Amino acid sequence: MKSFRNRLLVTILGWLGMLLAGLFTVIGQLFPMYAESGGQTRVWLILGLLFAAAMLFSAIIGHRIIKIHSLPIENVTETALELVKGNYRARAYEYSTGGTVQLSSTINVLARNLQEITATRETEQERLKTLIENMGSALIMIDRQGTVSLVNKTFLDEFSLSDQVTENKFYKEIDIPPVVEKFIDHVFMTETSARDQVSFDERLSTKHLDLYGAPVIGKHERWLGIVIVAHDISALKRLEQVRKDFVANVSHELKTPVTSIKGFTETLLDGAYKDTPSLLAFLEIIQKESNRLEMLIKDLLDLSRVEKADFQVEAKPTDMKKVIERAEELVRPRLEEKSIRLETELASVIVQGDANRLIQVMTNLLVNAITYSASETTIRVDLSQQQSEAVVHVKDQGIGIEASEIDRLFERFYRVDRARSRNSGGTGLGLSIVKHLLEAHQGRVEVESAVGVGTTFTIYLPLAK
C-alpha cells in the first residue's frame, strides 16, 4: 500500500517533469514570433518565471520526499544511540509511510527485548543481593588478585568494620582477627575448600566462629577467586560450656557426700565402731551426708522436670494465703532452731496456680532467708494484690547479696560464697527451680539486696481467672 503510494508520487513527478519540458518546447517554438513582435524581454521574463516556478515546485516535492524517507531513519538512529547508552525505554516511531517502518518496528522489538532482559537481570540481582545480605552468616568474596569484591553487612558487623571501606581493598589491609586472616590465606593459597572453627577475644568476651572457605570456579574451570562464609557459634559454645559446667558441678556435688560417707564407713569398719561415742558421731555424719545426697538428687530431678520445654503446671484457683501458711509450717523447726521471728501480713488473694508447686517456691525462699540470716533476726512476709497480680515479698535481715552477683543468682549451682553456702546444706539449685516454676505460672521473681542489711525477694503471680 505504502510502496504503491510512493510509486504514484514518483509517476506524478515524472508527468509534471514532462509537462514542464513540453511547455518549454512550445515557448521555445513561439520565441521567434515574439522576437519579431519585439517582446524579447517579456519572453525572457516568462521563461524565468516558469523556470523559477519549476524550481520551487521540485524543491517542495524534493523536500517532502526527503522528509518522508529520512525522518524515520533519523529517528531510528536516535533510538539506536539511546539504546547504546543503556536507555532501554527508548522507542522509534513506527511511521505508516515510507519503507523504514520495518526497521523501526525491528528496533522497537530489540529495545523491548533488551528492556525485558535487563528487568529480569535486575530482579535476579536484587534477589541474590537480598539473599547475601540476609543469609545470617558473614560472607566475603575475594578475587584472583586478592582484592575484596564483595562483603555483606553481617561480615562488616561481625568484625566491627561497618564504618570502613572494605570493597576493592586488598584483603590483608582490612582489619580482621589474625586467625581469620590465616584461614583466608590458606584457602587463597591452596585454592581448595576448607572448614575450621576459630576463636578470638573480642572486647570482654571470646568469640567463636565456624569458617567455611571455597574457591570460586568460573567457565572453563577458571579460578576466579575465593568465597569465605563465617558463622557465629558463640551462643552454641556458651551453651556447650554451660552443659559441661553442669555435668562437672553435679559430679562434684555428688562426690563430696559420697567421699565422706565412704570415709566414715571405712573408719568405723576398721574398728572405730567399738568406741560408742565415735560410732554415734560418725553415724550422724553419715546420715547428714546421705540426706544431702537425697536432697541433691531430688532437686536435680525436680530441675530436669521443670526445665523441660513442655513443662506445665496444673494451674487452678489457689488461695495464696494458705500456701504461705503451709510453707511457714514446713520451715517452723528451722526458724525455732535459729530463733528467727517470722512476721506476716497476708491479704486474701486467690491466684491461678498449682498449690504444691507454689508451696515449693515459698519454702525455698523462706529456707534461704533463714539460712542466710543470723540468729535472732526477723523475716517479714507480705502478700497483697496489685492491679492484676498477686505480690509476695520475703524480706530478711541477713547477710545480703552483692549487686554484681544478683544476675547470676538463678543459675544452676551458682552460690555467692561457695564454701559457706555448701555448709549451709543447700544444693545451689533452689533458686533455679523457683525461677522455672514461676515462669511456668506466667509469674516472675525479682531481688533487691544490700550487703549487711538484708535481702528482699519479690514474686509476682497472675490472679485466678
* Contact residues for ligand ADP, defined by CB under 6 A: 368-369, 372, 396, 398-399, 401, 409, 414-417, 421, 426-431, 455
Chain CA centroid to CA 95, Å: 56
In eight-state DSSP terms, residue 177 is -
Binding partner of residue 289 among Mg ion, ligand ADP, none, CB cut-off 5 to 8 Å per kind = none
Binding partner of residue 57 among ligand ADP, Mg ion, none, CB cut-off 5 to 8 Å per kind = none
Q: Give me the least distance between CB of 250 and Mg ion, in Å please.
A: 17
Binding partner of residue 355 among Mg ion, ligand ADP, none, CB cut-off 5 to 8 Å per kind = none
Which is nearer to ligand ADP, 6 or 456 (by Cβ)? 456
Q: Is 360 in the site for Mg ion (CB under 5 A)?
A: no
CA distance 397 to 382: 15
In eight-state DSSP terms, residue 96 is S
Q: Is 368 in the site for Mg ion (CB under 5 A)?
A: yes
Do 366 and 331 form a contact (C-beta atoms < 8 A)? yes
Which is nearer to Mg ion, 257 or 426 (by Cβ)? 426
Question: Contact region for Mg ion (CB under 5 A) — 189-197, 254-262, 352-360, 424-432?
Answer: 424-432
Which is nearer to ligand ADP, 187 or 429 (by Cβ)? 429
Q: Give me the least distance between CB of 327 and ligand ADP, in Å please.
A: 14
Which is nearer to ligand ADP, 249 or 421 (by Cβ)? 421
CA distance 121 to 45: 71
Specify the amino acid at residue 86.
G
3-state SS of 435-460 is: HHHHHHCCCEEEEEEECCCEEEEEEE
3-state secondary structure of 187: helix
Q: Give me the least distance between CB of 414 and Mg ion, in Å please.
A: 11
CA distance 23 to 277: 160
Rg (CA), the chain: 49
Strand partners, 141: 150, 227
Interface with Mg ion (CB under 5 A), residue from 98, 225, 353, 426: 426
Do 430 and 364 form a contact (C-beta atoms < 8 A)? yes
CA distance 419 to 77: 92
Which is nearer to Mg ion, 257 or 430 (by Cβ)? 430
Write the DSSP string, 387-452.
TTEEEEEEE--SS---HHHHTTTTSTT--SSHHHHHHTT--S-HHHHHHHHHHHTT-EEEEEEETT
Nearest-CB residue to Mg ion?
Answer: 430
Which is nearer to ligand ADP, 167 or 337 (by Cβ)? 337
Q: Which of residues 45-104 bind Mg ion (CB under 5 A)?
A: none
Binding partner of residue 166 among Mg ion, ligand ADP, none, CB cut-off 5 to 8 Å per kind = none
Question: Contact region for Mg ion (CB under 5 A) — 26-34, 60-68, 106-114, 419-427?
Answer: 419-427
3-state secondary structure of 246: helix
Write the DSSP string, 111-122.
HHHHHHHHHHHH
Question: Contact region for Mg ion (CB under 5 A) — 140-148, 317-325, 360-368, 407-415?
Answer: 360-368
Which is nearer to ligand ADP, 137 or 360 (by Cβ)? 360
Nearest-CB residue to ligand ADP?
Answer: 426
Decide the pairing of beta strands 454-462 and 389-395: antiparallel
Decide the pairing of beta strands 194-202 and 148-151: unpaired
Binding partner of residue 401 among Mg ion, ligand ADP, none, CB cut-off 5 to 8 Å per kind = ligand ADP
Do 449 and 379 form a contact (C-beta atoms < 8 A)? no
The residues near 177 (Cβ < 8 Å, ≥ 6 apart) are 159, 198, 200, 202
Binding partner of residue 369 among Mg ion, ligand ADP, none, CB cut-off 5 to 8 Å per kind = ligand ADP
* Alpha helix segments (H runs only) across 272-406: 276-307, 320-338, 355-371, 403-406
In the numeric block, which cell numbers belong to residue 89?
Answer: 525505554
Binding partner of residue 455 among Mg ion, ligand ADP, none, CB cut-off 5 to 8 Å per kind = ligand ADP
Q: Give me the least distance between CB of 417 and ligand ADP, in Å please.
A: 6
Which is nearer to ligand ADP, 166 or 427 (by Cβ)? 427
Q: Give me the least distance between CB of 423 and Mg ion, in Å please.
A: 13
Binding partner of residue 362 among Mg ion, ligand ADP, none, CB cut-off 5 to 8 Å per kind = none
Which is nearer to ligand ADP, 24 or 410 (by Cβ)? 410
Q: Give me the least distance between CB of 274 and ligand ADP, in Å please.
A: 37
Q: Is 398 in the site for Mg ion (CB under 5 A)?
A: no
Which is nearer to ligand ADP, 32 or 425 (by Cβ)? 425
CA distance 415 to 377: 22
Write the DSSP string, 27-41.
HHHHHHHHHHTT-HH
Interface with Mg ion (CB under 5 A), residue from 257, 430, 443, 454: 430
Do 72 and 100 form a contact (C-beta atoms < 8 A)? yes
Binding partner of residue 353 among ligand ADP, Mg ion, none, CB cut-off 5 to 8 Å per kind = none
Which is nearer to ligand ADP, 381 or 399 (by Cβ)? 399
Residues that bind Mg ion (CB under 5 A): 368, 426, 430
